[in-house]
Amino acid sequence: MKQIETIKEGKNFKAVSVGKVNEIIEHELPMGPDFILKGKVFVGQAVGATGSELSFQTLVPGQDSGFLHTHKTHEELYIILKGEGLYQVDGNIFPVGEGTIICVAPDGKRALKNTGKENLTMLCIQYKANNFTEADSPMTDGVILEEELKW
């Protein structure tokens, strides 16, 4: 079983590795006493994220996510990194592939299926819905520093 590895940490950061994209399938997520979900790893807590959770998941050809689900308060962004499949939200089914990004509101009934011949790997970022305002825009929140870059 693949493990999350800490690369470096300091006062204001923590860097980890889940391995290469093709190694995501080696992770295992315990979902209950008798059920382990292979190919899924949550990383938000591992990096100390305080405003979101994120996970990687790999589905082998023909595999689906196993169930429809919703959330109580979390919106989700699904980013397809590799492979192709079908995504379902509220009965709407559409093709997805590398580079597809799907935003789903908490109440959206969602699922994903790999319909390709290769593994499908995605990144899912979840965070509390309706939390950002105009003041949170990266263009207004970011601060460019007058310090020299040193590599």
The model's pLDDT over 71-87, given as tens digits with 9 standing for 90+, comes to 999 999 999 999 999 99
Mean pLDDT over each residue of the chain, to the nearest integer: 94
CATH number at 111 reads 2.60.120.10
Q: Note the maximum CA span of the chain.
A: 55
Does 47 reside within a domain?
yes
Give the bridge partners for 30, in sequence order.
36
**Which tens digits make up the pLDDT trace of 22-63?**
999 999 998 888 888 899 999 999 999 999 999 999 999 999
Distance (Å, whole) CA 135 – CA 92: 33
Does 97 reside within a domain?
yes
Q: How would you classify the pairing of strands 120-128 and 53-59?
A: antiparallel
Structure tokens at 18: 């889940």
Structural domain span for residue 103: 24-130
Domain count, the chain: 1
pTM: 0.90
